[in-house]
Amino acid sequence: MSRYNLSNLKALEAESIHIIREVTAEFERPVMLYSIGKDSSVMLRLALKAFHPGPIPFPLLHVDTGMKFQEMYEFRARMAEETGVELVVHRNEDAIARGVNPFDWGTQKCCTLLKTQALLDALQGGQYDAAFGGARRDEEKSRAKERVYSFRDEFGQWDPKNQRPELWRVYNGMHKKGESIRVFPLSNWTELDVWHYIYVEDIPIVPLYFAAPRQVVERDGQLISLDAPLPLKPDEEPRTVMCRFRTLGCYPCTGAVRSEADTVEKIVEEMMTVRSSERSTRVIDHDAEGSMETKKREGYF
């Protein structure tokens, strides 16, 4: 490569920083969705870089279902303290108080109430007009066509047929009052890019990503952690398995995979050999063909 040539990672980093700054310049109340996962960690680092030596000029928003892993809550508190960024936590308290859970309500209904509804309420309540999300286009089929700026109507809904064309790096941020956008600064990153970046930048991530002996039960081909009280089915027996999580979500719906990988390097090596895409450990994606698209239309990220 010539001297005036950016490496793959540096090119992606520059593009993401450009997007984060552009949105911040053109929107009144941006917010960064913070899911505590590895992509959020990367996005947070990019935001720190975008405004250095100044502070990040918007808050982080965590939509909390109350069913995240304990280690995720600890990590969230640690990151908020280390970076000094304002952290807003929003929960659908009404649904949580009424005991909504995936076992009795089903995963779809539970997700709609605790994630989608809670997110829309949080965005509306905070009057946020732009929300950064860590989604990548390589994650799932329907995301391959997602714009960097994804427009939502006043109900937060996505209309795949009515998205604005995106040319060059000139993003159209004009919007009416009440309208908002979801912005995906990591659109062009791949899973390997994310891990590589975490590695070279030494970005802290939740320890659940690393292999350790954990108490689990096997359910529908997935290892479900017993991190929190989980109603067991009659034939299920808790076991201790060396495993780790490839993505982090709610503990009842996020499966672990058997793994010995306890460093970023080992995780990447595992990725190269296992080759089973990361969202397959999310129970919710397999509900029906096109289910991610259906969720997105309703306002899910």
Binding to other proteins, residues 35-74 (CB under 8 A): 48-55
* Residue 190 near other proteins by CB under 8 A: yes
Residue span binding other proteins (CB under 8 A) among the ranges 61-69, 217-225, 229-237, 263-271: 263-271
DSSP 99-168: T--HHHH-HHHHHIIIIIIHHHHHHHHTT-SEEE----TTSSGGGGG--SEEEE-TT--B-GGGPPP-BT
83 binds other proteins (CB under 8 A): no
Q: Is 141 in the site for other proteins (CB under 8 A)?
A: yes
Q: Kindly tell me the burial class for residue 271, based on how many C-beta atoms sit within 10 Å of its own C-beta (0-12, 13-18, 19 or more).
A: middle
229, 217 in Cβ contact below 8 A?
Answer: no
Q: Nearer to other proteins by C-beta: 63 or 261?
A: 261
Q: Which 3 state secondary structure label does DSSP give 259? A: coil
60-63 and 87-90: which strand pairing? parallel
Return the number of the residue (31 or 148) whose C-beta is nearest other proteins: 148
Alpha-carbon span 33 to 122, nearest angstrom: 10
Token pair 């030596």 is at which residue? 53
Under the binding rule (CB under 8 A), the answer on residue 90 touching other proteins is: no
For other proteins, the closer CB: 233 or 275: 275
Residue 157 as a binder of other proteins (CB under 8 A): the answer is: no
Q: In angstroms, give the least distance from the CB of 97 to other proteins.
A: 35
Q: Among 82, 99, 174, 235, which residue sits at the site for other proteins (rule: CB under 8 A)?
A: 174
C-alpha distances in angstroms, 182 versus 33, 36, 129, 204? 9, 18, 9, 25
Q: How far is the CB of 284 from other proteins (least distance, A)?
A: 15
Q: Which two tokens stand for residue 184?
A: 């995906």
215 binds other proteins (CB under 8 A): no
Instruction: Name the segment binding other proteins (CB under 8 A); options: 1-9, 92-100, 113-121, 244-252.
Output: 1-9
Helix then strand count (H, E) for the chain reads 10, 10
d(CA 201, CA 198): 5
Return the ∠ at Cα 123 (arms to 120 and 124), rounded to 5°: 85
Whether the Cβ atoms of residue 134 and residue 31 lie closer than 8 Å to each other: no
Q: Is 221 in the site for other proteins (CB under 8 A)?
A: no
Binding other proteins (rule: CB under 8 A), the pick from 80, 123, 164, 177 is 164
- Give 20 or 206: the residue with its C-beta nearer to other proteins: 20
Nearer to other proteins, 71 or 270 (CB): 270
Q: Position of tokens 């997110």?
A: 119
Q: Which is nearer to other proteins, 213 or 273 (CB)?
A: 273
**Residue 280 engages other proteins in binding (rule: CB under 8 A):** yes
Binding range to other proteins, per CB under 8 A, among 87-95, 104-112, 118-126, 265-273: 265-273
The minimum distance between CB 123 and other proteins, in angstroms, equals 19
* Residues 102 to 131 in contact with other proteins, rule: CB under 8 A: none
Using rule CB under 8 A, residue 177 touches other proteins: no
Interaction of residue 238 with other proteins, rule CB under 8 A: no
